[in-house]
Structure 1
Amino acid sequence: MTPAERQSAVAFALRNLLLDDRQPGPWALQAASDFMAGRRQAEALADQARRLEAKADAPTDTLFLRTILVCQRPWATEGDLAELRAIHRRLLPGQPEERALRRPQPEDGASLYPAAMLEQGAAAIGQELAAERNLASLDRPVFVERLAHYYDELSYLHPFADCDGMTLRIFLSRLSHDAGWDLDWGRADPTAHRRAIQRALRGSTDDLQALVAGMVRPVNPTRIFLIAGWDQGPAH
């Protein structure tokens, strides 16, 4: 990874945790700083994450380090439940497969997609994404609206019992990047983010669209600005 890619991975990992009200400890932050500066390699970061797994009081530090590592480790980008599970396994590698997916709970009510039908729901979302060419070559306003739609759909699906939001944000970041746009999660206020998700689950995606609009930036800004204009995307 280049120094810029290391810095971006650490910044994303930190923000991804903060959006779930998690804060890595001083040691993990120092390890991340060493990684950015090139004083600690990815392999050393992975070894430390494995050692931290044995400590019950260090789950956030482990997640922080593993999220940094996720940013440099590819997986099959199929836009389906298999991809979501591949990301989730990288965050929680020791969790048995049968415990990873959310199971039916009496308190679920109507707020989330029925847990017994997760596979069917994920397949429908994957098919819809494929029909839209994974949001490739869209102008910015259209991309914002569609990404907010899928963020809402995936939040409603809520496939995982643990680290669901973190997994979805990694997936959406990958999807956006491949479509020609990057998401700057550092622009997302945690309180506004939670409120936008909840309002979307109740039927209004206006706040979620505003949140996404504030985060979206072109992967190739020179081409966008000089050839296309801010509101036009990679198709132009």
Structure 2
Amino acid sequence: MTPAERQSAVAFALRNLLLDDRHPSPSALQAASDFMAGRKQTEALADTARRLEAQSNSTNANVDALFLRTILVGQQPWATEGDLAELRAIHRRLLPSQPEEGALRRPQPDDNANLYPAAMLEQGAAAIGQELAAERNLASLDRPVFVERLAHYYDELSYLHPFADCDGMTLRIFLSRLSHDAGWDLDWGRTDPTDHRRALQRALQGDTDGLQTLIAGMVRPVNPTRIFLIAGWDQGPAH
């Protein structure tokens, strides 16, 4: 990884945790700083994450391991099919010690009625994947259309809520990958955690305007020179 890529990976990992109100310890932040500076390499950072996770009696140690694994998530490629298998592949990279069969949210007596029925997760995920495929994974869209469609899928995936733990973090990694491949990058650092939670809550109630506003504030073209000089801010990678 280049120094810029290391810095970007650390910034994303930190924001991804903070959006779920998770806070890495000073020692984990120091490990991330050493990684950015090149004093700690990828395998050393992975070893630190494994050591921290072994401290299973400490919630903070688990958060620290999650933080470090998020930094490294892009170093372990997965099949980008836009389906439940992709979501599970991302989730396994964040929580590798969790049994795969136990990762998905399971039906509970006190299930949240605002979420998709847990017993039908695979059917719901398949429907979302098919819809994404029909839209060519949001490729070649002008910016306003891309923002509207990405807000739609963020809402759909949040309603699906496939994982009992680290669901939001997994979805944000997925959406970042999806957006990048479609020609846009998401700057989650521009997102206020309170506004983010409110936008998702309102979207679950049928109002995605706040989610669209949130996404519009953080979406940037992957190739800004082409966008600005050839197409203009509101036009997408196809132009």
Q: Same fold (TM over 0.5)?
A: yes
Aligned to 1:167: 170
Q: List aligned pairs for 1:147-226, cutoff 5 A.
A: 147-226=150-229
**Residues in 2 aligned to 1:71 and 1:84: alpha-carbon distance in whole angstroms:** 14
Aligned to 1:35: 35
- Amino acid corresponding to residue 7 of structure 2 in structure 1: Q
User: Structure 1: which 5+ runs fail to align?
Assistant: none
- Amino acid corresponding to residue 19 of structure 1 in structure 2: L
Aligned to 1:47: 47
Q: For 1:83-141, what per-residue CA distance to the aligned partner results, in whole angstroms no more than 9, with x for missing partners?
A: 00000000000001221000012222420000000000000000000000000000000
- Amino acid corresponding to residue 165 of structure 2 in structure 1: D
Aligned to 2:121: 118
User: Structure 2: which 5+ runs fail to align?
Assistant: none
**Residues in 2 aligned to 1:127 and 1:9: alpha-carbon distance in whole angstroms:** 30
How far off its partner does 1:21 sit?
Answer: 0.3
Q: For 1:213-235, what per-residue CA distance to the aligned partner results, in whole angstroms no more than 9, with x for missing partners?
A: 00100000111001100000001
Identity of aligned residues (%): 89
Aligned to 1:100: 103
**Residues in 2 aligned to 1:110 and 1:78: alpha-carbon distance in whole angstroms:** 29
| SS at structure 1 position matched to 2:120 | helix
Worse overlay, 6-15 or 98-107: 98-107
Aligned to 2:75: 72
Aligned to 2:133: 130
| Residue-pair matches, total | 236
**Residues in 2 aligned to 1:15 and 1:80: alpha-carbon distance in whole angstroms:** 24
**Residues in 2 aligned to 1:44 and 1:232: alpha-carbon distance in whole angstroms:** 42
| SS at structure 2 position matched to 1:217 | strand
**Residues in 1 aligned to 2:196 and 2:207: alpha-carbon distance in whole angstroms:** 14
| SS at structure 2 position matched to 1:121 | helix
Is the counterpart of residue 13 in structure 1 residue 13 in structure 2?
yes
- Amino acid corresponding to residue 82 of structure 1 in structure 2: A
How far off its partner does 1:72 sit?
Answer: 2.4
Give the TM-score normalised by structure 2. 0.97
Give the TM-score normalised by structure 1. 0.99
